[in-house]
Each structure stands twice: as C-alpha cells, then as structure tokens.
C-alpha cells in the first residue's frame, strides 16, 4: 500500500479529531493520585449515558487525606485572614474562568438546562466571593473584650477547630459542595471532602480550580466515592476534629456517624431535618460551626 493510499484510508476512518478525555482522579495533599486501591467506577449522566470513570476512594485514601489535612493545618490556620481571603477570592476567579466547563458538566451530571446550569455555576462563584470576604470579619464579630470584675485584660477570640471531614450534599452538585467546603476553610480549618459518587465530575474539576488558586496542598482534599464506605473511617479517625454531615441523607447512618464521633468529642454539624435550600443566603452558621473560642487573661498593673 502506497503512502498516499494509507493516508487516504485513515482520513476516511476518522474524519474528525478524536477528543482527549479527562481522567478523574482524587485530590490529596495538592496532588491528583488514583485511589491506592486501584478501584474506579463509572459516572453516568442524568440520562444514563457514560460520562467518565472516576476513582473510587478507599479507607486508606481517607486516612492519607486526613494526614495531609493535618499537615496543612498549622500553615493554613496560621496564615493571615487577609491571605486566606485573597486565596478564596482567587478560587472564585479561577472558577469564573472555567465557567463553560462547569456548565457543561452540570448539564451532563444533573440533566439541567443551560440556563439552570449557568445559574448554579454563578451561585457557586458568588459563594466563594461571599466567604472570601468573611475571612477577616468572622474574628471580629465572634470576639469580645470581656469586662471582668477585676484588674485583668480579658479577650475572647475564635480559632479554627482543626481537620473537618465534610460530606457534601449530592445536589446541587457544585453549589452544594462549595457551600459546605468554603466556610470550613475560610475560618482556617483544613478539610477532607467526600464528594458523592455522582458528583465526581464537578468535584474533581473544582479540585483543579483549587490547585491553581495558590491554595496550599492539603488544605482541601477531595475524595470521590461512597459516603457509606468512607463515613465510618472518617468518623472514627482520632485525627479528625469535626464532621459536617450535610450530605448524609440516611438518618440512621448519620446517627451512627455522630455516635462514632463521640469517641474524641468531634464537633458534629448534623444534617438538616428539613430540606436545605442551598440557594438561600447562607448566614454564618457554617462559619461558626467549626470554630473554638479562646479566652486569654492577663493582670493589669504597673
């Protein structure tokens, strides 16, 4: 077969360019590893079509993520509130730049119309902006100079709790995830986020946004997989300081996780008893849920 004939034949078989598909992996410690278990699962769209294979996180991945989150805590909680605000705002900027990608993913994953998907991405971007602005204000509204009855300087101020395991709600896939993740890290906690298996695409695309926003590795770790499998090891883990159970829909399972959390007195944000409107103004509940109050005394005298 002559060269000319071969080229012609190839052109006949693939008249258009083959697209390059993305591999969806985990996000741990600033890197994108596959699950150590080697497992993956198929993510299907709202219409049942195959969208991608995603990494199915294991217990070991969860433990690795906790170790990275713990390692990042000192730096992130010690960073200035101004810097944390800058970085969260940078996340909003990066997300804005990838708007089209997220719209496409949400249309595929949730079966939304273009308008609905755009509205959700806009709300998610705006939520990062809202929380970016909170980083250097929450300390002021939660602090107090306490007028004690004696010659003492006495001041209370909030500090982050530590490592928070966050179970993101399944829907809205992007806005729900941002609504639980952003407040936890805005105040200086580090997070291990469990994205529901059906939300893997926007979750890992968000990880790419985070990875390019100057957010230090380990501050956010994202596991795609099953909360039924990852919930218990995270609720049991003694180096996890708090749980946000927003995404745990099964009340009995949520109770069992809260019971496990009692072992080291984790702070637990229970799933809401009523359906949550994630589009509503979030208030400060999620900012203050994972804050501790420290009170410092010092005598006043010459």
Smallest gap from residue 147 Cβ to other proteins (A): 5
Smallest gap from residue 285 Cβ to other proteins (A): 8
Sign of the alpha-carbon dihedral angle for 250, 255, 260, 262: positive
Q: How far apart are CA 42 and CA 198, in angstroms?
A: 9
Q: Which residues bind other proteins (CB under 8 A)?
A: 141, 144, 146-150, 152, 154, 156, 161, 241, 251-252, 254-256, 258-259, 261-265, 267-268, 270, 272-274, 292-299
Q: 292: how many CB neighbours lie within 10 A of its CB?
A: 12
Sign of the alpha-carbon dihedral angle for 117, 122, 124, 125: positive
Smallest gap from residue 119 Cβ to other proteins (A): 23
Closest CB to other proteins among residues 195, 243: 243
List Cα–Cα distances, 169 to 159, 173, 258, 277, 278, in angstroms: 26, 7, 17, 11, 10
Closest CB to other proteins among residues 214, 263: 263
Closest CB to other proteins among residues 8, 298: 298
Closest CB to other proteins among residues 26, 287: 287
Closest CB to other proteins among residues 158, 202: 158
Smallest gap from residue 172 Cβ to other proteins (A): 20
Closest CB to other proteins among residues 45, 71: 71
Residue 191: beta bridge partners? Answer: 164, 220
Smallest gap from residue 267 Cβ to other proteins (A): 6
Sign of the alpha-carbon dihedral angle for 293, 267, 238, 200: negative
Q: How many helices (H) does the chain have, and how many strands (E)?
A: 11, 10
Nearest one of 237, 235, 240, 241 to 260, comparing CA atoms: 235
Smallest gap from residue 140 Cβ to other proteins (A): 11
């Amino acid at each position: 077969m002559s060269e000319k004939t071969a080229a012609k034949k190839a052109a006949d078989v693939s008249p258009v360019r083959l697209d390059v598909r993305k591999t969806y992996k985990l996000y741990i410690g600033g890197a994108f590893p596959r699950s150590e278990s080697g497992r993956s699962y198929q993510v299907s769209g709202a219409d049942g079509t195959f969208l991608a294979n995603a990494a199915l996180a294991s217990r070991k991945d969860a433990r690795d993520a906790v170790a990275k989150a713990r390692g990042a805590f000192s730096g992130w909680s010690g960073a200035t509130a101004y810097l944390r605000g800058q970085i969260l705002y940078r996340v909003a900027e990066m997300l804005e730049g990838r708007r089209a990608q997220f719209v496409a993913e949400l249309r595929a994953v949730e079966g939304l119309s273009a308008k609905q998907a755009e509205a959700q991405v806009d709300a998610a971007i705006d939520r990062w902006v809202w929380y970016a602005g909170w980083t250097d204000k929450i300390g002021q509204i939660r602090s107090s100079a306490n007028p004690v009855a004696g010659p003492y300087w006495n001041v209370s101020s909030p500090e982050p709790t530590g490592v928070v395991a966050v179970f993101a709600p399944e829907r809205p896939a992007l806005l729900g995830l941002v609504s639980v993740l952003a407040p936890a890290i805005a105040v200086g906690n580090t997070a291990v986020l469990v994205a529901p298996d059906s939300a893997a695409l926007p979750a890992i695309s968000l990880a790419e946004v985070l990875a390019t926003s100057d957010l230090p590795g380990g501050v956010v770790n994202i596991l795609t997989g099953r909360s039924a499998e990852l919930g218990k090891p995270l609720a049991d883990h003694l180096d996890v300081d708090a749980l946000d159970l927003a995404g745990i829909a099964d009340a009995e399972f949520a109770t069992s996780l809260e019971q496990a959390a009692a072992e080291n007195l984790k702070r637990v944000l229970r799933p809401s008893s009523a359906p949550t409107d994630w589009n509503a103004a979030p208030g400060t509940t999620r900012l203050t849920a994972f804050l501790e109050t420290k009170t410092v005394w010092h005598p006043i005298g010459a």
